[in-house]
Amino acid sequence: MKFLDQAKIYVRSGDGGDGVTAFRREKYIEFGGPDGGNGGRGGDIIFEAVANLNTLIDFRYTQHFRAKKGGNGAGSDRTGAAAPAVVIQVPVGTQIMDDDRETLLADLDKPGKRVTLCTGGDGGFGNANYKTSTNRAPRRSDKGWPGEERWVWLRLKLIADVGLVGLPNAGKSTFLAATSAARPKIADYPFTTLHPQLGVVRLSMTEEFVIADIPGLIEGAHEGTGLGDRFLGHVERCAALLHLIDGAAGDVVDAWRTIRNELEAYGGGLAEKPEVIALNKCDAMTPQQISGRKRALERASGAKVMVISGVSRQGVPELLRDLFTNVQNARAERDAEEAE
């Protein structure tokens, strides 16, 4: 299935039904009087996050959603039927943005979360509603209120615990394939990964977390160079970032700084997230190269650097355990905030 993380759609709630002018006319009833019923309520537009979706591809082919009008009132004081709501199912992690693409209208970040984006119009009053002691035969009835309409942008931000970042060909796809059941495309040329990928890492029967692999970043990505930085939104919700650096490529410090600069330029709190640095492809380096590049990277970053190989899995179990510790800490903080 093709991955699509942005879509623009049109939504319109239903108009309210019209009230009716009617009078009671029955045999042997001397004074009939008005009995026109009210109109029914128009249908709402509701968005719902569901767990079995992971792309917005459906909205490429269906871009207009309209709810039905409420039923008109009728004689004998009968109210029109309310129109059913239109429920639009979206993947968990979908944000609903206004047409300006900046104003956040709703964030559906949990399965089952629902939001009513457009409310259906109220039904109009029938003439029975205007009966008074001085106006016993009103002939006034109202039209239903119009519904709401708007163009909105849907933006999907994947729900993952750990985000993979790095330059192209840093070994992110190889690492994802080695640690999970995901099967991303792997090749020896830059920008092999064109769309975000998710993989579930299982350390034991009760310990697991989700890793998100995004296309590689290059210098100037925040200005649109390469594939740009639009895919960084998929790691905004992560508990930690795994920064993979190709140790065999040479200047590892420059590679680390390039990605850090792009994270800071993007914003969204990415630069402040816990970062686990891994020097990848250790099987393609000599022990002297590993030692020297690790020390240089630790001096520049001021953090511990782990040495791994996604192909031979050297150092991978220790790295996964370190990542899971960050995930556990983030989950505990989130549970504490929800408990308050």
Could you tell me the domains of the chain? 1-156 (2.70.210.12), 162-339 (3.40.50.300)
Reported as half-sphere exposure (CB side, CA atoms, 13 A), residue 131 has a value of 17
Q: Is 187 annotated as a binding residue?
A: no
Each residue's pLDDT tens digit in the chain (340 positions)?
Answer: 456 778 999 999 999 999 999 998 888 777 788 999 999 999 999 999 998 887 888 898 899 999 999 999 998 899 999 999 999 999 888 999 999 888 999 999 888 999 999 999 999 999 999 998 888 889 999 999 999 999 999 988 877 788 888 888 888 888 888 888 767 666 555 555 666 777 788 888 788 888 888 776 666 655 555 445 566 777 777 888 888 888 887 788 888 888 888 888 877 777 788 888 888 888 888 888 888 888 888 888 888 888 888 888 888 888 888 888 888 888 787 777 767 6
Question: Is 196 annotated for ligand binding?
Answer: no
Is position 67 annotated in a ligand binding site?
no
Residue 79 assigned ligand-binding role: no
Inter-axis angle of helices 316-339 and 172-179, nearest 10: 80
**Beta partners for 114?**
48
Predicted pLDDT at 169: 80
The per-residue pLDDT for 190 is 56
**Considering Cα of 230, then 231, then 234, then 239, what sign does the dihedral take?**
negative
Answer yes or no: is 34 a known binding residue: no
Q: Report pLDDT for 125.
A: 94
pLDDT in the model for residue 54 = 77
The pLDDT assigned to 242 comes to 87
Q: Does 311 belong to an annotated binding site?
A: yes
**Percent helix, percent strand, percent coil in the chain, to nearest 5:** 25, 25, 50
Is 75 among the annotated ligand-binding positions? no
- The pLDDT of residue 250: 75
The DSSP code sequence of 7-41 is EEEEEEPPPPPPP---B---TT-S---B-PPPPPP
The radius of gyration computed from the CA coordinates of the chain, to the nearest angstrom, equals: 29
Residue 199 is assigned to a ligand binding site: no
Quick one: pLDDT at residue 1? 45
- 217 marked ligand binding residue: no
Say if residue 281 carries a ligand binding annotation: yes
Cα dist from 167 to 89, 185, 223, 259, 334, whole Å: 35, 16, 16, 7, 30
250 labelled binding-site residue: no
Q: How far is CA 15 from the centre of its chain?
A: 29
The verdict on whether residue 238 carries a ligand-binding annotation is: no
What per-residue confidence (pLDDT) applies to 216? Answer: 66
Q: What is the DSSP string of 259-324?
A: HHHHHHHH-TTGGGS-EEEEEE-GGGS-HHHHHHHHHHHHHHH-S-EEE--TTT-TTHHHHHHHHH
Give the pLDDT confidence score for residue 64 in this predicted structure: 95
Confirm whether residue 273 is marked as ligand binding.
no
- Residue 45, SS3 per DSSP: strand
Residue pair 60/101 in contact by the 8 Å Cβ criterion: no
pLDDT at residue number 293: 86
Q: Is 11 annotated as a binding residue?
A: no
193 assigned ligand-binding residue: yes
pLDDT at 245: 87
Alpha-carbon distances, residue 179 vs 45, 275, 308 (angstroms): 41, 19, 12
**Is 215 annotated in some ligand binding site?**
yes
Predicted confidence at residue 152, as pLDDT, reads 94
What phi and psi values does residue 153 have, to the nearest 5 degrees?
-105, 135
Residue 275 tokens, joined? 């970062």
Q: Are strands 94-97 and 86-91 parallel, antiparallel or unpaired?
A: unpaired
133 is in an annotated binding site: no
Is 173 annotated in a binding site? The answer is yes
